[in-house]
Structure 1
Amino acid sequence: MDWKDRRRRFRGVIAGERCIRPGSVHDALSARIAEDLGFEAGMLGGSVASLAVLGDPDVMVLTLSELAGLVLRINRAGCLPLMVDADHGFGNALNVRRTVEELETAGAAGLSIEDTDLPEPFGSGGKPRLLSLDEGVGKMRAALAGRQDPELVIAGRTSAAGINGVADAIERAKAYEDVGVDVIFLIGIKTRAELDAVSQAVRKPLILGGVPSELDDWEYLSARRVRIALQGHQPIAAAVAAVEATLRALRDGAHPSEIGGLASPDLMRRVTRADSYEEMADRVLGRSSEQD
């Protein structure tokens, strides 16, 4: 697998002039579909990984090895550059370094490390809290120290705008920029005034973790150096709804022939790359000569 080529292409997106929408992917097939449809990058969210591996909500019970295994399975299925939400790096700064090493080995094109205090501390009352600025900076340094391939994109992620306000988000973004992260990943930006303030204060490209209606203008986002804007994780939610509806119909007595909305045989052959397997079988198993 040519991980470096994917990372170069992903860096091309970050260094480009326009904002893209990544395809939210959760497994090998969804990544292949996103690639076939022309998405320039895939996004594996932390909540999506927890759903795909454990069937659990996003409460930080997924382990690093489970995430790295999923990332590898997604990456081996095609050539789509994959951005990975690495959450808090699974612990302190030393854990962050290990996280970067594992996800780089699994083929990630980019990953984000955030400054939220995770898992939820005892007594927090369910309200998100941030690490100190010093600890956040330390995690970013550790992430960069763990990178072996300089093409791997490291994003410094902060939720400060929605917790403490945009002034704190700017302070953190500037500090992470000074450490050397490649891009600033912002959660909780809701207005143009907030985005304008951040864009004017920092030099690095930006990633937005959501696009509220006021920001839903891709030319505007591009002009503010936003290079990736996430739009949620509808594909896995759609898959859950389709599986539930299909199984419910079968459980209620529907005949398999009555089930609609299924992938066609042609689509299944394409997403499973059946033709390449048949070609390989003909060459290495001698099937064609036996049939002749």
Structure 2
Amino acid sequence: MLYAQTTPAEKRVAFRAGLASGELLRFPGAFNPLSARLIEKKGFDGVYISGAVLSADLGLPDIGLTTLTEVAGRAKQIARMTELPAIVDADTGFGEPMNVARTVQEMEDAGLAGMHIEDQINPKRCGHLDGKQVVDSDTAIKRIRAAVDARRDPNFLIMARTDIAAVDGLDAAIDRAKRLVDAGADAIFPEAMRSLEEFAAMRAAVDVPLLANMTEFGKSELFTVEQLQGIGMNMVIWPVSMLRLAMGATARGLDSLTDAGTLEPLLGEMQHRADLYELIDYEGYNHFDSGVFNFTVTK
């Protein structure tokens, strides 16, 4: 009932153990707290909270318009609804190194298991669009050092995302990743890798956990879990996928209302009321107030 029983500290310990297990951790992107609970119910390893999804949730493009307060607040709402560890996209840290330091502590307080900070300039843009610009190595390193110095829980994961491959190529990305690890990054997120071979080259270059981004309609091929496991990747995210599916279904529903005047043809595609009530543990609230759940929902 209400929120998760697993504490943020316990989630962070479990997340660290998962990363050290040698297994590929699967983190679908949640677009709201309820979808995070469904991700858990379906047996995944964790929940990813995408900056692009949080921007889209506000009707905004993913160009750095969201604030630390907005992202931390929504991330807290999502993370507290699941027993799984959740990691959040913190963009460029919402400012200079001191802002990055504050971001880390806000995300710790929000109950996240970790976050990633990227090396794009401000304002940033989606990692799979052309025309990106990255900061110099010194600035990128200062962001990571500020993050590492600011955290209070040593198990809170500081991941460094680098977008430099799309700007200066794979060799530059490998060099940048090594520098970020030396600066204290616990894990590396090499954005917009174009092939399995590029992921493999990054894997061979650094010893820390690596994240693969399997976003649709981007620069990367959509590799399977088995392919990514085979080259030693530690995490895979599908950051916007669940939102895309939900919005696609919503568009089809609206079209049905326009064309047929009813949603009856789409009932089979809907989550049933009984499944929704089970997911939100409606019956569990009955332990506190028998008047809340005093009915039966049949399929």
Q: TM-score range with shorter-chain normalisation?
A: 0.7 to 0.9
- Conserved 8 A contact 1:206-1:227: yes
Partners in 2 of 1:287 and 1:153 — Cα distance?
40
- Conserved 8 A contact 1:18-1:219: no
Corresponding residue to 2:288 among 257, 273, 280:
280
Q: Are positions 1:20 and 2:25 aligned together? A: yes
Closer/same/farther in 2, CA of residues 278 and 134 from structure 1, 3 Å limit: same
More displaced 10-residue stretch of structure 1: 175-184 or 230-239: 230-239
SS of residue paired to 1:222: helix
Number of the residue aligned with 1:210 = 214
Residues 30-80 of structure 1 deviation map (CA, whole Å, 9 limit, x = unaligned): 00000000111111111011112x122212111111111111111222212
More displaced 10-residue stretch of structure 1: 204-213 or 162-171: 204-213
Aligned alpha-carbon RMSD (Å)? 2.5
Partners in 1 of 2:188 and 2:264 — Cα distance?
50
Deviation at 1:132, TM superposition (A): 0.5
Number of the residue aligned with 2:14 = 9
Partners in 1 of 2:292 and 2:54 — Cα distance?
40
Closer/same/farther in 2, CA of residues 223 and 264 from structure 1, 3 Å limit: closer
Partners in 1 of 2:271 and 2:181 — Cα distance?
45
Number of the residue aligned with 2:134 = 130
Closer/same/farther in 2, CA of residues 247 and 223 from structure 1, 3 Å limit: closer
SS of residue paired to 2:283: helix
Deviation at 1:197, TM superposition (A): 2.6
Give unmatched runs, 5+ long, in structure 1.
Answer: none
Number of the residue aligned with 1:265 = 273
Closer/same/farther in 2, CA of residues 246 and 206 from structure 1, 3 Å limit: same
More displaced 10-residue stretch of structure 1: 131-140 or 248-257: 248-257
- Conserved 8 A contact 1:83-1:108: yes
**TM-score under structure 2 normalisation?**
0.86
Amino acid at match of 1:10: F
- Conserved 8 A contact 1:187-1:210: no
Number of the residue aligned with 2:247 = 240
Deviation at 1:281, TM superposition (A): 1.4
- Conserved 8 A contact 2:8-2:113: yes
Number of the residue aligned with 1:149 = 153
Give unmatched runs, 5+ long, in structure 2.
Answer: 295-299
Number of the residue aligned with 2:64 = 60
Closer/same/farther in 2, CA of residues 8 and 194 from structure 1, 3 Å limit: same
Residues 235-270 of structure 1 deviation map (CA, whole Å, 9 limit, x = unaligned): 111111222333444456724656522221221111
Deviation at 1:232, TM superposition (A): 4.6
Number of the residue aligned with 1:199 = 203
Amino acid at match of 1:23: P
Deviation at 1:146, TM superposition (A): 1.9
Corresponding residue to 2:233 among 226, 235, 247:
226
**TM-score under structure 1 normalisation?**
0.87
Closer/same/farther in 2, CA of residues 120 and 194 from structure 1, 3 Å limit: closer
Question: Which protein has the bigger helix share?
Answer: 1
Closer/same/farther in 2, CA of residues 70 and 286 from structure 1, 3 Å limit: closer
- Conserved 8 A contact 1:188-1:210: no
Percent sequence identity over aligned pairs: 31
Structure 1 or 2, whichever has the larger Rg, is 1
Number of the residue aligned with 1:39 = 44
Partners in 2 of 1:81 and 1:183 — Cα distance?
16
